[in-house]
Structure 1
């Protein structure tokens, strides 16, 4: 059944939509082990996500790493702690910047494309036709798309971490006259493997959330082509809000449970 426009989505029926998205997430988990797995669809969707996000992600991660390194380099020079700029910038990039950049690109580029595709299928009655034929749209279309979003998010997060740290290293050494040995030594002294694990976990969860929101809005767009466009806009906005909220929660829990290296 088609859902109304933006006003209905953000109004008194908001909790009902949250419940339906949670139900869709449960259906995805329930259909995941069922056979046959749509491997070809999964590969096609993973390539779609990667093709629309990999270049913007690489280009965005360079200035992000540069800004963080330059800002932290300037701050550490003021307080006489230049030797810690490598650790501070690398941890900021790996723990915070990389997952958030990944989230923005996966939701803004991949999620919007996924929502538009499913929305177009919905208004053409393809989804209803699949149900009439006894084919589950969740098993056939949603599960491979959500898994593709999760996989690409994890891979892009690793790419952003590497490019961001390398960009921060370059700009700190070239523009601020930092010492390569001190940059790397401080990074090795304070960074730890759980920092990377929590970053990848964030990316995995972000990909899942982006896929669920995009799938839900794509399966329930307002009527007509304009409704699909509105659903795409809603997908991006809602996903951004959820991902930033999740980032705050996970970061707070991680900092409470995992002690800093050297303590």
Structure 2
């Protein structure tokens, strides 16, 4: 008798606990499908795409540089100290290349794109949603997915790839300056060993990682911005969530 009466309460508790997250996951994947379908619809919003590229680059460029510099110093300093213990300081270039391409570039990219780019997209679309601009577009027969989401997602993907290339360049140049001028590493040996371990496949994999992070960050930022509730009070805490949602599940893959 007790088991029979407890079962409805348990089912109701589970339903209440799972309803909100399952609704969010379902809505997100629904928007992903709609975005994929709208991606091939013409005409493409080139003006919005260019504006969003500039917008995301403007908010993400300086943080990417500021984050990559200390990461580079920490990576190169630790690596050179370790190599010096084994008498292999001439391999500093090989270590810097593999570290910058496979770890530093994707890791900084996901931090910056998810933390700055995705948050900016969420705040922009969230403000439009609160002002009922999205509802007005739907009333006028304009698809907000095609008009607003697709350009932002593609822009986030492109900018993430470019930022990854920038961070890798900063890492290699910073590694050369720090290693040669501060740790007395041979400059010629550093340049000669850059491609000892790192080649085109590693660069391609790093670019694919960065593009994937940008795609996910753009999708998460757009979804959270379009589903904001509670007026301006709901936008403030919501603008910090896309960075966590976009970064936490996928940052571990940068170490693979």
Task: Report the Cα offset of residue 50 of structure 1.
Answer: 0.8
1:84 to 86, 91, 95: 91
Write the distance in 2 (CA, Å) between the matches of 1:242 and 1:141: 25
Write the distance in 2 (CA, Å) between the matches of 1:105 and 1:45: 16
1:72 pairs with 2:79: yes
Write the distance in 2 (CA, Å) between the matches of 1:70 and 1:25: 42
In the alignment, is the contact (CA less than 8 A) between 2:64 and 2:108 conserved in 1?
yes
1:117 pairs with 2:92: no
Kindly report which structure 2 residues correspond to 1:24-103, keeping only aligned pairs within 5 A, or say none.
Answer: 24-103=31-110
Q: Secondary structure at the match of 2:84?
A: helix
Task: Report the Cα offset of residue 31 of structure 1.
Answer: 0.5
Write the distance in 2 (CA, Å) between the matches of 1:22 and 1:79: 51
2:190 to 174, 178, 183: 183
Question: Aligned-residue CA RMSD in angstroms?
Answer: 1.4
Runs of 4+ in 1 over 4 A off after TM superposition: none
Write the distance in 1 (CA, Å) between the matches of 2:147 and 2:197: 46
In the alignment, is the contact (CA less than 8 A) between 2:96 and 2:171 conserved in 1?
no
Write the distance in 1 (CA, Å) between the matches of 2:62 and 2:36: 30
Deviates more, 1:235-244 or 1:137-146: 235-244
| Structure of higher CA gyration radius | 2
2:243 to 230, 236, 241: 236
In the alignment, is the contact (CA less than 8 A) between 1:32 and 1:143 conserved in 2?
yes
**Unaligned regions of 5+ residues in structure 2, if any?**
1-16
Task: Report the Cα offset of residue 17 of structure 1.
Answer: 1.6
Q: Secondary structure at the match of 1:150?
A: helix
The alignment covers a number of residue pairs equal to 239
Look up the match of 2:10: none
Task: Report the Cα offset of residue 246 of structure 1.
Answer: 4.2
1:209 to 216, 223, 234: 216
**Unaligned regions of 5+ residues in structure 1, if any?**
1-10, 252-263
